Amino acid sequence: MLIRRRNGHDISSSEITPEGVYHDRRRFLQTASSLALGSLILPWEDVLAAPEKYAYADLPGVKPNPAYQDKDLKKLITKPEDFSSYNNFYEFGMDKEDPKANSRNFKTKPWTIKVHGLVSKPAEYQLEDFLKPFELEDRIYRFRCVEAWSMVVPWVGIPLHRILSRAQPTSGAKYVLFKTLMDPAQFPAQKSKILDWPYQEGLRLDEAMHDLTLLTVGAYGKVLPNQNGAPLRLIVPWKYGYKSIKSIVSIELVSAQPKTSWEIRAPDEYPFYSNVNPEVPHPRWSQKTERVLGTGFFSAKQKTLMFNGYTDAVASLYSKFDNRKLY
Ligand code: MTE
């Protein structure tokens, strides 16, 4: 995301973060080179219990969901090394290389996750217990960042509606508010004022309950790299990427539309809905096309699709609304 300064220039990351440290690319390349999914190599609980030991380890028992294994999309899957080395995770710094360079020692165990607010069964879980009842699915999704780059990723996760149904939202619950961990000792940029910390995001309840909305723990059949939002990260594929909040510790059901971190920072540029609409330009750039990650800066851009290609699945959520306003 680009932040506009009062004098009209974008803030340079060097003002916020130190020079990046050496990137440990090779380890990920070695372990993530295979796209084979579902291999039963390690017990799932062991992986979660010692993520530093098994970083990028294969996740056991992952089942490809046939509804999300489009053959044409499969051919376009982004290389894992591109997926994990060009990131937005402002808690680790503002440059695309910062999250990878600065997240190597990020602790994802123990990890506590709270589901609370307007639910009949509020609970706080250790991540292992939170996930235990559910089967992990592999789903290939398009992903489109508001900054006009895109990728195709085989995520591993659980549809959010399963998690929410377990908590039993009450009749007053209309929205879901998500929060990232607040820990300035681990997230150096949380000491700065670039965003209202902790990073928070929201969805309308029907968006959150949509089958496409995925709570992820992995990608490419492996545990999520820290820079991509380990250990628990939301994916909402028909919206611009900033809705896909990383390193989640709180899922709260609320009655009113919550403010999101980016909306507080720049409401005209990053509004609540964030639906992909190529016809509505961002105030500072067009949204008609996107650069495909890994294809090189000078390669031809690709046309952006309405709802990022998920119109058939999600347009009905917005039939009563003007989609030029819910961009
Ligand atoms: N989540 C947190 N906590 N902090 C962030 O800065 N950036 C968002 C989103 N989730 C962000 C976040 C933005 S702007 C994008 S485009 C995606 O993460 C980038 O995801 P990726 O790095 O896995 O490609």
Give me the pLDDT at residue 8, please: 41
Q: Is 156 a member of any domain?
A: yes
- pLDDT tier at 5, thresholds 50, 70, 90: low
Q: Whose CA is nearest to atom 12 of ligand 1?
A: 245
Q: Is residue 1 part of a domain?
A: no
Q: Is residue 297 part of a domain?
A: yes
Q: Which residue from 88, 95, 222 has its CB within 8 A of the most atoms of ligand 1, so it is best to mutate?
A: 88
Number of domains composing the chain: 1
Tens of pLDDT, residues 17-46: 332 322 333 333 333 333 333 333 445 555
Instruction: Name the residue with the closest Cα to ligand 1, atom 19.
Output: 88
Assess if residue 310 is contained within a domain. Answer: yes
In angstroms, what CA-CA distances link 318 with 286, 314, 321? 23, 8, 5
Alpha-carbon span 210 to 85, nearest angstrom: 30
The answer as to whether 2 is a domain residue is: no
Q: Which residue has the least CA distance to atom 8 on ligand 1?
A: 242
- In tens, the pLDDT along 174-184 reads 999 999 999 99
Q: Domain of 305? A: 13-326
CA of 89 to the centre of ligand 1 (A): 5
CA of 221 to the centre of ligand 1 (A): 20
**Which atom of ligand 1 is nearest to 180's Cα?**
3
Q: Dihedrals φ, ψ of 213, to 5°?
A: -75, 120
Given the structure tokens 């089967």, which residue do they identify? 135
Q: Is residue 18 part of a domain?
A: yes
Q: How far apart (Å, rounded) are the C-alpha atoms in residues 80 and 95? A: 19
Q: Is the pLDDT of residue 10 over 90?
A: no
In a domain, 188, yes or no: yes
Supply the CATH number for residue 217's domain: 3.90.420.10
Report the distance separating Cα 88 and Cα 282, nearest Å: 18
Which of 28, 186, 242 most suits a substitution to test ligand 1, by most atoms within 8 Å of the C-beta? 242
Name all residues whose Cβ lies below 6 A of ligand 1: 1, 87-91, 145, 180, 199, 228-229, 241-242, 244-247
Sorting pLDDT into bands at 50, 70 and 90, what band is 58? confident
- Return the pLDDT at 48: 54
| C-alpha torsion sign, points 74, 44, 53, 112 | positive
Residue of 209, 118, 204 lying closest to 168 (CA atoms): 118
**What's the one-letter identity of residue 156?**
V
- What's the token pair of residue 45? 């609980």
Provide the pLDDT for residue 33. 34
The answer to whether residue 4 is domain-embedded is: no
Give the model confidence (pLDDT) of 237-266 as tens digits: 999 999 999 999 999 999 999 999 999 999
